[in-house]
Amino acid sequence: MEKIIDAKGLTCPKPVILTKKEMDQSKPGDVILVEVDNEMAVANLRKLANSQEAEYTSKKLGDKQYQVRITVTKEGSRESKMPQEMESCAVSGQKKTVVVISSDKMGEGEAELGTILMKGFVYALTQLETLPTRILLYNKGAYLSCEGSPVLEDLQILSEAGVEILTCGTCLNYYGLEEKLKAGSVVNMYRIVETQAEADLIIKP
């Protein structure tokens, strides 16, 4: 089966995210054609294909027109990971947007609904036209970057796309999560305060 993804005009890392999702749902032998308009996307799609052991070719069709052909060679799986290193998605001069998350749930009320909302919120971050610069996790928000988190895959995608995932070390110690951190790095309170003080925009769910 051949599938076409029109990723022209999409900013990094959206072409890779869309392609990865399609690969996860594909079977060996399926072909995915991705149309993009910049060489950074071409390079990152090559790294994605290599990380999934898929066959890869690309060609330039014209000015800012590229087509990447990926042939899936193994069964797709949501457990498969994004490539460890991608070309930087950061834009020079971009405003520093920091997302501050202090809970593993979003809002007040029913815990189950709060978990669903938080999962949707973090996923929505991966779809933003311009990704945040950093995500700060403290108090029960520390659970989100750890093993078993329902949003761990999306945080890893953001991390691999250049977003800094920073989790409070005191919080990890308090909840006994020191050995379970799976996305980003550990920071102290000084770094948490400094990150917010330097931000041009702070988003808090």
pTM metric for this prediction = 0.62
Reply yes or no: is the peptide bond before residue 13 cis, omega within 30 of 0: yes
Q: For the residues 7-14, what does the mean pLDDT come to?
A: 81
Residues 102, 177 within the same domain: yes
* pLDDT tens digits for range 137-180: 999 999 999 999 999 999 998 887 778 999 999 999 999 999 99
The pLDDT of residue 91 is above 50: no
Instruction: Supply φ then ψ for residue 172, to 5 degrees.
Output: -60, -45
pLDDT for 129: 77
Residue 146 CB: number of other CB atoms within 10 A? 21
DSSP E strands, the chain? 2-6, 31-36, 55-62, 65-71, 97-101, 134-137, 164-168, 185-187, 201-203
State how many domains the chain has. 2
Beta bridge partners of 56: 70
Residues 155, 196 within the same domain: yes
User: What CATH number is associated with residue 156?
Assistant: 3.40.1260.10
**pLDDT, mean over the chain:** 88
Residues 101, 199 within the same domain: yes
Q: For the residues 88-113, what does the mean pLDDT come to?
A: 82
pLDDT for 88: 53
The pLDDT of residue 52 is above 90: no
pLDDT for 81: 58
Residues 121, 199 within the same domain: yes
Query: 174 Cβ partners below 8 Å, 6+ apart?
Result: none
